[in-house]
Protein backbone atom coordinates (compact mmCIF):
# COMPACT_ATOMS: atom_id res chain seq x y z
CA UNK A 1 0.00 0.00 0.00
CA UNK A 2 1.41 3.36 -0.94
CA UNK A 3 0.60 5.86 1.80
CA UNK A 4 1.47 8.74 -0.52
CA UNK A 5 -1.71 8.15 -2.51
CA UNK A 6 -4.19 8.11 0.35
CA UNK A 7 -4.71 9.37 3.86
CA UNK A 8 -2.68 7.32 6.30
CA UNK A 9 -4.95 5.14 8.40
CA UNK A 10 -3.97 4.19 11.93
CA UNK A 11 -5.95 1.64 13.88
CA UNK A 12 -5.85 1.66 17.68
CA UNK A 13 -6.07 -1.53 19.69
CA UNK A 14 -7.84 -1.39 23.05
CA UNK A 15 -4.45 -1.58 24.77
CA UNK A 16 -3.34 1.59 22.98
CA UNK A 17 -6.46 3.42 24.12
CA UNK A 18 -5.95 2.31 27.71
CA UNK A 19 -2.33 3.47 27.47
CA UNK A 20 -3.60 6.86 26.34
CA UNK A 21 -6.11 7.35 29.13
CA UNK A 22 -4.33 5.72 32.09
CA UNK A 23 -1.37 7.82 33.18
CA UNK A 24 0.31 4.96 35.03
CA UNK A 25 0.68 2.91 31.83
CA UNK A 26 4.24 2.55 30.67
CA UNK A 27 3.46 3.95 27.22
CA UNK A 28 1.12 6.73 28.28
CA UNK A 29 3.48 9.55 27.33
CA UNK A 30 4.03 8.07 23.89
CA UNK A 31 0.29 7.83 23.25
CA UNK A 32 -0.21 11.39 24.48
CA UNK A 33 2.46 12.52 22.02
CA UNK A 34 0.53 10.82 19.26
CA UNK A 35 -2.75 12.31 20.40
CA UNK A 36 -1.16 15.76 20.21
CA UNK A 37 -0.43 15.12 16.54
CA UNK A 38 -3.74 13.51 15.67
CA UNK A 39 -5.90 16.09 17.39
CA UNK A 40 -4.53 18.91 15.24
CA UNK A 41 -7.13 20.16 12.81
CA UNK A 42 -4.72 20.01 9.88
CA UNK A 43 -3.74 16.41 10.59
CA UNK A 44 -4.73 14.20 7.64
CA UNK A 45 -4.23 10.91 9.44
CA UNK A 46 -7.40 8.91 10.00
CA UNK A 47 -7.35 7.24 13.39
CA UNK A 48 -9.84 4.43 13.86
CA UNK A 49 -11.15 2.66 16.94
CA UNK A 50 -13.15 -0.53 16.49
CA UNK A 51 -16.52 -0.94 18.20
CA UNK A 52 -15.01 -4.17 19.54
CA UNK A 53 -12.32 -2.17 21.33
CA UNK A 54 -15.09 -0.03 22.78
CA UNK A 55 -16.75 -3.21 24.08
CA UNK A 56 -13.51 -4.48 25.62
CA UNK A 57 -12.82 -1.15 27.28
CA UNK A 58 -16.38 -0.92 28.58
CA UNK A 59 -15.93 -4.16 30.52
CA UNK A 60 -13.93 -2.02 32.94
CA UNK A 61 -15.38 1.44 32.53
CA UNK A 62 -17.48 3.64 30.24
CA UNK A 63 -15.59 4.42 27.06
CA UNK A 64 -14.44 8.07 26.93
CA UNK A 65 -16.70 9.19 24.11
CA UNK A 66 -14.97 12.57 23.89
CA UNK A 67 -12.33 10.68 21.89
CA UNK A 68 -14.81 10.29 19.04
CA UNK A 69 -14.20 13.94 18.20
CA UNK A 70 -10.70 12.89 17.14
CA UNK A 71 -10.91 9.17 16.40
CA UNK A 72 -13.35 7.45 14.07
CA UNK A 73 -15.29 4.78 15.92
CA UNK A 74 -16.21 2.19 13.31
CA UNK A 75 -18.71 -0.63 13.63
CA UNK A 76 -17.60 -4.18 12.88
CA UNK A 77 -19.34 -4.57 9.54
CA UNK A 78 -19.64 -7.01 6.67
CA UNK A 79 -16.14 -6.50 5.27
CA UNK A 80 -14.57 -6.91 8.70
CA UNK A 81 -16.60 -10.07 9.35
CA UNK A 82 -15.46 -11.57 6.06
CA UNK A 83 -11.84 -10.69 6.82
CA UNK A 84 -12.10 -12.21 10.30
CA UNK A 85 -13.38 -15.47 8.85
CA UNK A 86 -10.78 -15.69 6.11
CA UNK A 87 -7.99 -14.73 8.50
CA UNK A 88 -9.15 -17.43 10.90
CA UNK A 89 -9.24 -19.95 8.05
CA UNK A 90 -5.69 -19.05 7.05
CA UNK A 91 -4.61 -19.26 10.69
CA UNK A 92 -6.11 -22.75 11.02
CA UNK A 93 -4.43 -23.86 7.81
CA UNK A 94 -1.07 -22.67 9.10
CA UNK A 95 -1.42 -23.75 12.72
CA UNK A 96 -3.74 -26.74 12.64
CA UNK A 97 -7.48 -26.78 13.10
CA UNK A 98 -9.00 -26.63 16.55
CA UNK A 99 -10.56 -29.83 17.85
CA UNK A 100 -14.19 -28.82 17.40
CA UNK A 101 -16.37 -26.27 15.69
CA UNK A 102 -17.30 -24.86 19.07
CA UNK A 103 -13.65 -24.11 19.63
CA UNK A 104 -13.46 -22.42 16.22
CA UNK A 105 -16.39 -20.20 17.07
CA UNK A 106 -14.94 -19.28 20.42
CA UNK A 107 -11.50 -18.71 19.04
CA UNK A 108 -12.45 -15.92 16.68
CA UNK A 109 -11.62 -13.78 19.61
CA UNK A 110 -11.87 -10.07 19.94
CA UNK A 111 -8.21 -9.36 19.25
CA UNK A 112 -8.50 -11.45 16.09
CA UNK A 113 -11.56 -9.45 15.06
CA UNK A 114 -9.79 -6.17 15.77
CA UNK A 115 -6.95 -7.18 13.43
CA UNK A 116 -9.50 -8.18 10.76
CA UNK A 117 -11.36 -4.91 11.26
CA UNK A 118 -8.12 -2.97 10.80
CA UNK A 119 -7.40 -4.82 7.56
CA UNK A 120 -10.92 -4.19 6.27
CA UNK A 121 -10.49 -0.46 6.91
CA UNK A 122 -7.25 -0.43 4.92
CA UNK A 123 -5.14 0.45 7.95
CA UNK A 124 -1.48 1.22 7.33
CA UNK A 125 -0.58 0.74 10.96
CA UNK A 126 -2.12 -0.93 13.97
CA UNK A 127 -0.90 0.23 17.36
CA UNK A 128 -1.04 -2.17 20.27
CA UNK A 129 0.53 -2.88 23.63
CA UNK A 130 -0.61 -6.48 23.38
CA UNK A 131 2.50 -8.02 21.89
CA UNK A 132 1.49 -11.50 23.00
CA UNK A 133 -1.64 -12.10 20.95
CA UNK A 134 -2.95 -9.20 18.87
CA UNK A 135 0.48 -8.32 17.50
CA UNK A 136 1.01 -11.98 16.68
CA UNK A 137 -2.23 -12.19 14.68
CA UNK A 138 -1.49 -8.93 12.89
CA UNK A 139 2.00 -10.14 11.98
CA UNK A 140 0.49 -13.38 10.71
CA UNK A 141 -1.97 -11.45 8.50
CA UNK A 142 0.99 -9.55 7.11
CA UNK A 143 2.87 -12.78 6.37
CA UNK A 144 -0.12 -14.20 4.50
CA UNK A 145 -0.10 -11.10 2.30
CA UNK A 146 -3.66 -10.33 3.35
CA UNK A 147 -2.39 -6.89 4.28
CA UNK A 148 0.70 -4.74 4.30
CA UNK A 149 -0.36 -3.25 7.60
CA UNK A 150 2.53 -2.50 9.94
CA UNK A 151 2.24 -3.55 13.57
CA UNK A 152 3.54 -1.07 16.09
CA UNK A 153 3.90 -2.62 19.49
CA UNK A 154 4.13 0.11 22.07
CA UNK A 155 7.26 -1.31 23.68
CA UNK A 156 9.29 -0.91 20.51
CA UNK A 157 8.98 2.80 19.86
CA UNK A 158 7.32 4.39 16.86
CA UNK A 159 7.85 5.67 13.41
CA UNK A 160 6.26 9.04 13.98
CA UNK A 161 6.29 9.95 10.32
CA UNK A 162 3.09 8.03 9.54
CA UNK A 163 1.47 9.40 12.66
CA UNK A 164 2.13 12.85 11.25
CA UNK A 165 0.80 11.88 7.86
CA UNK A 166 4.18 12.09 6.19
CA UNK A 167 5.61 9.51 3.81
CA UNK A 168 7.37 6.90 5.92
CA UNK A 169 10.63 6.99 4.06
CA UNK A 170 11.41 10.61 4.91
CA UNK A 171 11.63 10.50 8.67
CA UNK A 172 12.14 7.66 11.06
CA UNK A 173 12.23 8.83 14.61
CA UNK A 174 11.33 7.22 17.84
CA UNK A 175 9.15 8.68 20.53
Partner 1 sequence: MNGKRDTLLTVRLAAEGENLSAEALPMALLGALGDGIETFVLGGARLGAEAPVFRVEQGSILLHFFSTTAIAASIFASGLGAALEAIDAGLLPGDPKRAAALSSMRRFLQEDKANARTIAFEVPERFRVEGLVKVVNVTISQNTTLRQGSLMPRVFEEGTLRGKIEKMGNEGDPGFDVRVAGEPKLIHVRATKEQLTGNPNLFLPIVARVRYRLNPATGDRSETTLVRFIDRPTDPKVVLREIVEAGTKAWADIPDPVAWLRDLREA
Residues at the contact surface with partner 1, assessed by CB under 8 A:
6-7, 14-15, 18-25, 28, 32, 35-36, 39-41, 44, 56, 59-61, 64, 66-70, 72-75, 77-79, 109-111, 129-130, 132-134
**Shortest distance (Å) from residue 44 CB to partner 1:** 5
> Measured from the CB atom, is 111 or 159 closer to partner 1?
111
**Shortest distance (Å) from residue 86 CB to partner 1:** 14
- Please tell me the number of Cα atoms within 13 Å of 2 on its side-chain side: 2
> Measured from the CB atom, is 6 or 105 closer to partner 1?
6
> Measured from the CB atom, is 56 or 159 closer to partner 1?
56
> Measured from the CB atom, is 109 or 175 closer to partner 1?
109
> Alpha carbon of 49 to those of 14, 55, 57, 172: distances in Å?
8, 11, 11, 25
Signed CA dihedral, 158, 109, 77, 20: sign only: negative
**Shortest distance (Å) from residue 15 CB to partner 1:** 5
Q: How many Å from the N-terminal Cα to the C-terminal Cα in the chain?
A: 24
**CB 80 within 8 Å of CB 55:** no
> Measured from the CB atom, is 15 or 160 closer to partner 1?
15
**Shortest distance (Å) from residue 61 CB to partner 1:** 4
**Nearest residue to 126 via CA among 91, 96, 99, 162:** 162
Amino acid sequence: MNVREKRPVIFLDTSAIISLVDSKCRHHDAMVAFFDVWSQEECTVRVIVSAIAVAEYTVKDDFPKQLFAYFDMEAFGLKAAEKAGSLRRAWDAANGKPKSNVATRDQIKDDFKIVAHAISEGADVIITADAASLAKYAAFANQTEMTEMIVWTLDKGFDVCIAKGEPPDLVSNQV
